Amino acid sequence: MMNDGGDAPRLNKHQLLTIEKSLFELARKQKSQAIPVDLPVPAFWSSVGQLLQHLEADLAETIRDRGMTAEAQLKSRRLGTIRTCVSDLTRLRLNAFTEHAVLSNLLRSPQGDAVSVSASFQSLDWERHDPSERAYHTGIGHLVEKYKHEVSWNALLRGSGNEIPRSPEAGGHEPLTEFVEQDEAVSQPTPNAPSAPPRSTWDDPEFDEEDRIRQIDAFPDRATGAATPAPPPEPAPEDSGLRRILVLQDLEDPIITEDGSEITLTAGDVESCPAAIADNLIAAGLAEPAPL
């Protein structure tokens, strides 16, 4: 990702110090952001390369003239700190570009409609990023497309669209409605059929009121009437194809669902999203499941 310094004009000491400060500031911002942060200046990585070359030359000159003094040790430590920052920033930015490339690809419609992606997902201003970073982002997108093709990703989510009709000759059970109709036919009386014997009625035994009062006094914790019927079970909610999620990070642009409606996601909100979008957001680390 870092060039050899030939793409940027030669910087003076003041400009190199500004690049050094920008490097640490960019690393601090990128650590708290899920998307790639804009580079502070054009040819940023080339400028960082010039900074490291300048510090290496200055350290070598100090050691040659005065040996490994305290000053040389401080310069060596400064050079090591900047290299560690470059390594951390590179790791953070590559992770951010990878996550953005994967999520933007998965949110694209099966027809490859790029307009729907730009309307529902934050795009990147490539003028504010290094060309090598854009090439890396594009390569990740190609790998995702290859993966989706190999696993038939669109068919897994939306089906092939070709339903196999069930023929009567294929066997199997009859539909439930047919069983119901047969039960109703059986329950109807047929001509000349012997009628069922009448149901016997229950005669309540005589129970004196005074005996009832004595029973209540003897067993105050026992109910004397009929058992209270259990409340009817609540109907199970219909499967609406939605999934509840807890949003972990803000999305600046709303997400466009298949029916054309927009969903704006803000960190801390609990939303019900289509299962496909919810799985993508959970896989990208932007949300987590929030079942009832």
Sheet of 287-289, strand order: 270-274, 242-247, 287-289
Residue ranges, comma separated, of all CATH 3.40.5.50 domains in the chain are 242-289
Is the pLDDT reported for residue 233 higher than 70? no
Q: Looking at domain 242-289, which CATH architecture does it have?
A: 3-Layer(aba) Sandwich (3.40)
- The topology (CATH level 3) of 13-154 is Methane Monooxygenase Hydroxylase; Chain G, domain 1 (1.20.58)
The type of residue at 64 is R
Lowest mean pLDDT among 9-13, 97-101, 142-146: 9-13
Identify any residues that bridge with 262 across adjacent strands, giving them in sequence order. Answer: 256
Residue ranges, comma separated, of all CATH 1.20.58.2050 domains in the chain are 13-154
Round to whole Å and give the CA distance between 268 and 282: 14
| 93-119 mean pLDDT | 73
| 199-228 mean pLDDT | 58
The structure tokens listed for 110 are: 């099966």
The structure tokens listed for 231 are: 């409340």
| 58-62 mean pLDDT | 91
Is the pLDDT reported for residue 11 higher than 90? no
pLDDT reported for residue 237: 44
Confidence bin at 242 (pLDDT 50/70/90): confident
